[in-house]
């Protein structure tokens, strides 16, 4: 989706896995690396800023949930890609 007039980039992803602590943590780290950029997630009636791992987990987004992400600020396009990657990546395998 092209950037809108205010520079916001919006994407919609359907979660292939629940939004548990691990992806929530990856999002918080990503947000921490891009302090000037705001990453907002919306799932149904719940909203969260990606910098807060608790707010993201509190959305209770499970597999199949449609999540709308809105990124504003520097590198919005690239950051939005990374957010979408985190939300749609398969769980990492241990060991």
Partner 1 sequence: MTAVAHRWTGQGVAPGAAVAGSWRADRPIPAGTVHIGPNEVEAAFAAVAAELEQAAERQRQQGRSAAADIVEVGALIAADPDLVDSAKQAAGAEQPLPAVRDAVESYATVLDSLPDEALSQRAADVRQVGRRVLERLAYPDGGRDAPAGDRFVLIATDIGPADLIDHLGGGLVGAVAVRGGANSHAAIVARSVGLPLVTGIDPEVLDLPDATDLLVDADAGTVVAEPSATEVARTEAASAHELERRGRLAAERGLPHVTADGQPFGLYANVASDVEVRLALESGAIGSGLVRTELGFLEADRWPGEADHRRTLAPLLAEAHGRPVTVRLLDFANDKIPPFLSPPAGLPSLLANPAALTAQIRAIVDLGRGVGLRIMVPMVTSPDQVAPVRAIVNAASVTFGVPAPPVGAMVETIAAVRDIDALCQVVDFVSIGSNDLTSEVLDLDRIDPRARTELAAHPRVLSLIGRVVAASNAAGLPPLTVCGDAGSHPTTLPLLLGAGVRSVSVAVARIDETRWRLRRLDAAECRTLFTDALRLGGAGEVAALVEERIEVAMP
Instruction: Write the DSSP assignment of 32-75 as a string of letters.
Output: HH-TTSEEEEEETTEEEETT-HHHHHHT---TT-EEEEEEESTT
Contact between 60 and partner 1 by CB under 8 A: the answer reads yes
Please identify which residue in 8, 13, 55, 84 interacts with partner 1, judged by CB under 8 A: 55
CA 8 to CA 45: how far, in whole Å?
A: 20
Please identify which residue in 22, 35, 74, 77 interacts with partner 1, judged by CB under 8 A: 22
Supply 86's token pair: 């985190």
Q: Which is nearer to partner 1, 3 or 25 (CB)?
A: 25
Q: Which residues bind partner 1 (CB under 8 A)?
A: 17-18, 20-22, 24-25, 28-29, 32, 51-55, 57-58, 60, 62-63, 90-95
């Amino acid at each position: 989706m092209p950037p809108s007039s205010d520079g916001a980039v919006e994407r919609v992803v359907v979660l292939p896995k629940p939004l548990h602590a691990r992806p929530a943590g990856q999002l918080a780290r990503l947000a921490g690396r891009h302090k000037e950029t705001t990453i907002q997630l919306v799932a149904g009636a719940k909203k969260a800023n990606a910098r807060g791992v608790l707010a993201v987990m509190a959305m209770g987004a499970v597999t199949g949930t449609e999540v709308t992400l809105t990124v504003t600020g520097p590198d919005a396009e690239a950051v939005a890609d990374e957010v979408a990657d985190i939300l749609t990546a398969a769980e990492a395998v241990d060991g």
